[in-house]
Amino acid sequence: MSKSEELPLRAPSPLLMALEWRAVFEWSSLAVSWPLLKRAPRGDGHPVLVLPGLIANDSSTWALRRFLESRGYAAYPWDSGFNLGPRGNLIRRLEKRLMEIERRHGRTASLIGWSLGGAMARALAFRMPDHVRSVITLGSPIQGDHRGSNAWRVFEMVSGWKADDPQLGQWLAQHPLAPSTSFMSKTDGIVNWRMSLAPEGEFSENIEVSATHMGMGANPAVLWAIADRLAQAEGEWRPLERSGLLRALLYRNPRKLRLANLIAP
């Protein structure tokens, strides 16, 4: 465990939160980088269900889904309106939607979740291990104290849940059996990067990227890595290859101490 991981978990600083405006550049860079992104790995066309973040809806994941479609996937919105947390029968509706997608294609789906959507995707994959091919999360609060996020008060306000509810803590602690990839950024202004660390193992990895929380799902480097992860043949999952200078710079091991740890411990 690194020294930064031994420190008390706290929310990103006001400076990092203010710097979330940089997401504008991530979104605007899509048009410029699209010709390059069209050279990203193509997959086998399996379905992918995409879950948005807190108080976001399917419009926030449109660019991500459009990119997935360009790589040959059948990308699906979650089709449940704004994400206000696990209210009412939402989890059952997601289970039903996942089964409908599987029946339509005759194969299991991958799940991609942004922020809170990632935590919910992992919970869904844990509940339905035979129906999920892989799980990818983007800046998601999947472990640790809720005070490591700047959004916990908003979550309580819209979801009706207390952020420290033991049942929510149990859901966060559940690690899916499906291969999983967690992306995080040490300059995330909403979720402390340590909250996004998944237990690493033979079929689980953590990838640090340079991104904002609000722009991670449109960040060209993140999109390329998502395509790389999804393109793997079913049953042949391997961690992301980081050899080569460019990949080493773009896709880092978050557990390694660097200057960024001083900014976001």
Full set of structural domains in the chain with CATH: 3-33+45-232+241-263 (3.40.50.1820)
- Band (168; pLDDT cuts 50, 70, 90): confident
Question: Quick one: which H or E segment has residue 220?
Answer: helix 220-230
Could you give the CA distance from residue 155 to residue 147 in angstroms, rounded to a whole number?
12
Residue-wise pLDDT for 250-263, tens only, equals 999 998 765 555 55
Tokens 């860079």 sit at which residue?
29
pLDDT for residue 205 is more than 60: yes
When comparing pLDDT for 198 and 6, which is higher? 198
For residue 184, name the pLDDT band (cuts at 50, 70, 90): very high
pLDDT of residue 259: 53
Mean pLDDT of 129-153: 94
Q: What is the pLDDT of residue 78?
A: 96
Is the pLDDT higher at 114 or at 249? 114
DSSP 8-state class, residue 198: P
pLDDT, mean of residues 201-222: 96
Least confident of 156-165, 166-175, 188-197: 166-175
CB contact set of 111 (below 8 Å; sequence gap of 6+): 48, 49, 50, 51, 98, 121, 124, 125, 132, 134, 135, 136
Q: What is the mean pLDDT of residues 213-224?
A: 97
Listing DSSP states for 8-60 in one string gives PP-PPPHHHHHGGGGHHHHHHHHHHHHHHHTTSPP----EEEEE--BT--GGG
Residue 7 banded pLDDT, cuts 50, 70, 90: low
Tell me which residue of 207, 216, 210 sits closest to 253, measured CA to CA.
Answer: 207
Average pLDDT across the chain, whole number: 92
Residue 244: left if φ>0, alpha if ψ -120 to 50, beta else—which one? Answer: left
Residue type for 230, please? L
Across 6-21, average pLDDT = 89
pLDDT of residue 170: 84
Across residues 10-36, what is the average pLDDT?
95
**Which residues sit opposite 75 in a β-bridge?**
48
Q: How confident is the model at residue 263, as a pLDDT?
A: 56
Q: Is the pLDDT of residue 46 over 90?
A: yes
- What percent of the chain has pLDDT above 90? 80
pLDDT band with cut points at 50, 70 and 90 for residue 155: very high
The C-alpha atoms of residue 218 and residue 112 are separated, in whole angstroms, by 13
CA-to-CA distance for 78 and 138, rounded, in angstroms?
16
Which is more confident, 5 or 26? 26
Residue 255, Ramachandran bin (φ over 0: left; ψ between -120 and 50: alpha; else beta): alpha
Strand 47-51 and strand 109-114: the pairing is parallel
pLDDT at 169: 84
Weakest-pLDDT range from 85-89, 109-113, 114-118: 85-89
Pair 99, 34: CB distance under 8 Å: no
CA–CA gap between residue 98 and residue 108 (Å, rounded): 8
Q: What is the pLDDT of residue 261?
A: 56
